[in-house]
Amino acid sequence: MPSKRRILLVALCSLLAGCAAPADESATSGVEPSPPPSESAPARRLLAATWEGFETGSNASLRGVCGIDERVAWVSGTGGTVLRTTDGGKRWENVSVPGAESLDFRCIHAFYEDVAIVLSAGSPARAYMTGNGGKTWRLTFEDKRPEVFFNAMRFDLQEFGVAFGDPLGEELQVMVSGDWGETWHRLQGALAPKALPNEVGFAASNSALALDGVYIYIGLGGETSLGRARVISLVPETGEWRYVQTPIASSASAGIFSLALLGESCIVAVGGDYLRPDRAEAHRAVSSDRGLTWVQPDGPGPRGYSSSVAAFPALGLTVALAVGPYGLDVSTDAGNSWTAVDDTPWHALDTTPNGEAVWMSGPDGRAGVARIR
């Protein structure tokens, strides 16, 4: 019997009958020399883990991060920047895409140590893939429309990927791939989720989109008539989109910036107003029923606007980290209450597939990792 994932892919793409792994070689020219090894900050304690920050040799704003394991991670950002470490952050290779200096790669996913894909946020929107650790890159997607703007791109542990961008007309731009990002198919008409007037996404951390098997969750914001941010989710049993209002405030600069899945049914959403980062109200919400309902917990929240949240399952199924301009906060009760850990500003978080490390990226070329000690 076909799996739910395969049925969903066929329904969405209409033509995905099979998938092939990405090639080991790509076809775009060279790469800049690697920077010298960076000096890492002293390791600091985080519950039963330690975390440390690294200087990568870049001054880019890094809003994309993807961790493979405790040794290997990729980060991306402004100026077409892509960096990679294979030794736990001690040394970072500059594997930026040649000729892409005008692009802002806010979306990145690494499948293996040498295989990764990046997607730029604004127009022109372009996706590039590498199969050889960034030595060469190959263009797999391009959209030159001036209004295009992608906010996030996620893949599950296999070949299925989703990217979403701001609405084009009344349809939220959602693209799916069934072959590791080699090809992309835009959902249109009845398959596409519908956006409210002035509803948008936020590309602060490549994490306003979450995947859980065949479940898709998208967090939004914007100057809508509701004044509250919505989570749009795909119901795999019916193939229909569900629209649920959350307690998080929504405006032109406020809404949901990040979603994290904790366990089988718990989802944590964080955000706020990036133009008023000191505001610490109506900026987080929790669902315990796969996004059917959302509540604002009674406990203390993150210190202000948070751009990214991630689970840390190796510390327990209820442990989550959140970051923003005020630094790093931790919750040990599934997002109900938060405690400040450090004041270093960060943009984005990503949990490794084994759940034993969380990688971070931030302004001024900053990167970091939290590991079980």
- pLDDT by residue for the chain (373 residues), tens only, comes to 334 333 333 334 432 333 334 444 333 333 333 444 444 556 788 878 888 999 999 999 999 999 999 999 999 999 999 999 999 999 999 999 999 999 999 999 999 999 999 999 999 999 999 999 999 999 999 999 999 999 999 999 778 999 999 999 999 999 999 999 999 999 999 999 999 999 999 999 999 999 987 789 999 999 999 999 999 999 888 889 999 999 999 999 999 999 999 988 999 999 999 999 999 999 999 999 999 999 999 999 999 999 999 999 999 999 999 999 999 999 999 999 999 999 999 999 999 999 999 999 999 999 999 998 7
Question: Can you tell me whether residue 189 is helix, strand or coil?
Answer: helix
- DSSP states of 279-326: --SS-EEEESSTTS--B--SS---SS--SEEEE-GGG-TT-EEEEETT
DSSP per residue over 198-240, as a string? TEE---SSS-SEEEETTEEEEE-EES-SS-EEEEEEEETTTTE
Look-up of token digits 């590309």 = 203
Length of the chain: 373
CB atoms within 10 A of CB 116: 26
pLDDT at position 22, please? Answer: 41
Separation of CA 32 from chain center:
26
Give residue for tokens 């959140």. Answer: 322
Q: What is the dihedral of CA 184, 158, 81, 119, to 10 degrees?
A: 20
User: According to DSSP H, which parts of the chain are helical?
Assistant: 4-13
| Longest Cα separation, the chain | 54
CATH number at residue 317: 2.130.10.10
Tokens of 162: 């989703």
Distance CA 258, CA 302 (A): 13
The β-bridge partners of 256 are: 271
Query: pTM of the predicted model, to two decimals?
Result: 0.90
User: Quick one: how far is CA 18 from the chain centroid?
Assistant: 26
Helix (H, G, I), strand (E, B) or coil at 172: strand
Q: Which residue has the tokens 């730029």?
A: 120
Q: What is the pLDDT of residue 214?
A: 77
Q: What is the rounded CA–CA span in Å between residue 58 and residue 35?
A: 8
d(CA 222, CA 201): 7
pLDDT the model gives residue 42 = 67
Whether the CB-CB separation of 324 and 302 falls below 8 Å is answered with yes
Domain containing residue 307: 4-372
- Determine contact, residues 126/139, Cβ cutoff 8 Å: yes
Give pLDDT, residue 373: 77
Which of these, 49, 58, 88, lies nearest to 310 by C-alpha position? Answer: 49
The type of residue at 181 is G
Structural contact between residues 231 and 22, judged by C-beta atoms closer than 8 angstroms: no
Three-class DSSP category at 18: coil
- Answer whether 62's CB lies under 8 Å from 345's CB: no
In sequence order, what are the beta bridge partners of 219?
231
Q: What domain count does the chain have?
A: 1
